[in-house]
Amino acid sequence: MPRLVVVLPLTPLHEGDSFLVQDWPLHVTVLPPFLTDAEPGVIASAIAEAASSHRTLTAVAGQQEMFGRRTDVPVTVVVPTDELSRLHEDLIDAVRPFGAAPDEPAFTGNEFRPHITIKSHGRIDEGTALTLQQIALVDMAPRASSSGRSVLATFTLPRH
C-alpha cells in the first residue's frame, strides 16, 4: 500500500525524479504522509482539481524548531498564511476519500504547521521570503528502499 505525501518544493521537481531520504530537496509539507489503495493517477487528479483554484503562494520562513515523534528533527517553521492554510484544507478534502483510513493523522492531525526540514545539504534562514509555485505528489518508499522517494506528479500553480 503506497504511502504518499504532498509537498511544495522550493526548487522545481519533475515527474520521475527520485532521491534518498537524506537528499530530499527542501520543501514545505502541505499534506503529511498518508496510506492509500488508490492508483497514483487518481490521487494526482484529485490534487489537480483541488489546486485549480489556487495561485502561486508567498510565505516567509520563521524560527527553527524541533519536530518529529521524538522532537529530534530540526525544521524551519513557515509563518502561516490564509492561502497556505486554504490549500492544505482543500487537499485534505480532495484526498481524504482515497485514504486507507479517514482518521489518519494526515487528515485529522493537530493544527497544520507548515515547515521545511533542515537537511545537511541545505536550510532556509528565518526571514527568507518563499515563492511556492509547484505542488508535488511524492511516493514515500520505505527508508530502506534503494529507490528512495519518487515524484509521481507535479502541478504548477499559476502566478497571480
Phi first, then psi, for residue 43 (nearest 5°) are -65, -45
Q: How far apart are CA 39 and CA 159, in angstroms?
A: 29
Continuous H helices in 54-149: 82-95, 105-108
Cell of 104: 489518519
- Residues 6 or more apart whose CB falls under 8 angstroms from that of 49 comprise 94
Share of the chain above pLDDT 70, in %: 92
> What's the CA gap between 39 and 25, in Å, rounded?
25
Q: Which band of pLDDT confidence, cut at 50, 70 and 90, is reported for residue 3?
A: confident
The lowest-confidence range among 31-35, 81-85, 90-94 is 31-35
What is the structure's pLDDT at 86? Answer: 95
Ordered strands of the 134-139 beta sheet:
18-19, 149-156, 134-139, 3-9, 27-35, 115-117, 73-78, 57-67, 129-132
Task: List 77's β-bridge partners, or say none.
Answer: 115
Element (H, E) at 77: strand 73-78
**Check: CATH 3.40.50.720 for 3-156?**
no
Whole-angstrom distance, CA of residue 98 vs CA of residue 100: 7
Instruction: Say yes or no to pLDDT of 107 above 80.
Output: no
What torsion, rounded to 10 degrees, do the Cα atoms 89, 93, 17, 65 define?
30
Residue with cell 487528479: 45
